[in-house]
Amino acid sequence: MDNIKNRISARFASAPPGAKGVGYMLGSAASISGANGAVQHLSYTGLHVFEIAFFRQLFGLVLMSALFLRGGLRPLITQKIWLHVLRSILNVVAMLAFFYGLSLEPLAKVVSLGLTAPLFATVGAVIFLREKMTLRRWIALGIGVVGALIILRPGVQVVSLGALMVLMSNTLWAVALVVIKVLTRTDSSVTVALYSSLLQTPLAFMFALFFWQWPTVEQLFWLLGIAIFGTISQLALTEAFRNADATLVLPADFTKVIWASLIGYFFFGQVPEIWVGVGAVVIFSAVFYNSYSDSRPSFIGGSTP
């Protein structure tokens, strides 16, 4: 078994950067899908999503602490503490909204709507960072809006609260990404990640207190699983963009819609609507077109727990 593991590791290490990037993105998509499925499962057991979000942050902080300890106290040095606070507030509220959407809507629908996050980030970059809105970006944004409308079908059916929560999460997440870009001009990625973990955990706890109930032992294992899969997804996503261009790895991110559909069907009996699939393809096309015309890895990614 060890020999097989070593051979696989050696082959992956010697693979071209592009292949590594795609591999990491596939792993990220699978991991975040598992985390989202676990969030939905726990919400069905009666555990409030705000409490789920808190334990996601708490266990994630424990998992990431080993990485932070290597750098000592130096990563804590920053001149933009209030921007870190703002970013953490935006992230926490975005996560709460996304988790709430997961508790109300089919998994595939939530993940499909989540694909619009990079398009929201493009708008945020134009508004707050004065980046140029090219014709291609306008086209991509328009296509993405059409895709979201195909999924929501306003006028044909009532736009649900869960769908609105996901869209609100995307909006807040986009603003948070803009703040991250400002922070990384002076702070290292380690500093940004450290303050994210340190600040978001107590913020999430404040929301969880209003709906607190002690989780069972079984629920604690599920919560730990959410943190593990969520952390793996974040690390793999970072490695994907470090090894290859966004235009190469982004198509692999679409597999999370497939994973969400499979998990929803086999574990929750959710049959994806045809309009969700059509809308997801349209949104993905818009995101891919946008990244192809002007690849900006900092703004690629969806709402993740």
Closest by CA to 173, choosing from 266, 68, 272, 101, is: 101
- Token pair for 297: 């890895």
Tell me the average pLDDT of the chain.
84
List pLDDT tens digits, range 266-304.
999 998 889 999 989 998 888 888 776 655 444 444 445
Q: Are 36 and 305 in contact (CB under 8 A)?
A: yes
252 part of a folded domain: yes
List pLDDT tens digits, range 188-245.
777 877 888 889 999 999 999 999 999 999 999 999 999 999 889 888 887 887 787 7
11 part of a folded domain: no
Number of domains making up the chain: 1
89 part of a folded domain: yes
Closest by CA to 145, choosing from 124, 166, 104, 115, is: 115
259 part of a folded domain: yes
Q: 226 is in which domain, residue-wise?
A: 20-299
Tally the C-alpha atoms within 13 A of residue 64's C-alpha that lie toward its C-beta. Answer: 24
Q: Residue 208 carries which DSSP code?
A: H
b vs e for 39-58, b when ≥16 Cβ sit within 10 Å of the residue's Cβ? bbbbbeeebbbbbbbbbbbb
69 part of a folded domain: yes
The reported pLDDT for the residue numbered 301 is: 45
- Token pair for 259: 């994973």
Kindly give, in sequence order, each residue whose CB lies less than 8 Å from that of residue 33, ignoring residues fewer than 6 positions away: 111, 256, 259, 260, 263
Q: In whole angstroms, give the CA distance from residue 60 to residue 230.
A: 8
Q: In whole angstroms, give the CA distance from residue 60 to residue 52.
A: 12
Provide the pLDDT confidence category of residue 159 given band limits of 50, 70 and 90: confident
Mean pLDDT of 161-172: 93
6 part of a folded domain: no
8 part of a folded domain: no
| DSSP helix/strand/coil, 66 | helix
Q: In whole angstroms, give the CA distance from residue 277 to residue 281.
A: 6
The reported pLDDT for the residue numbered 300 is: 42
Output the CA angle 276-278-281, nearest 5 degrees. Answer: 105
138 part of a folded domain: yes
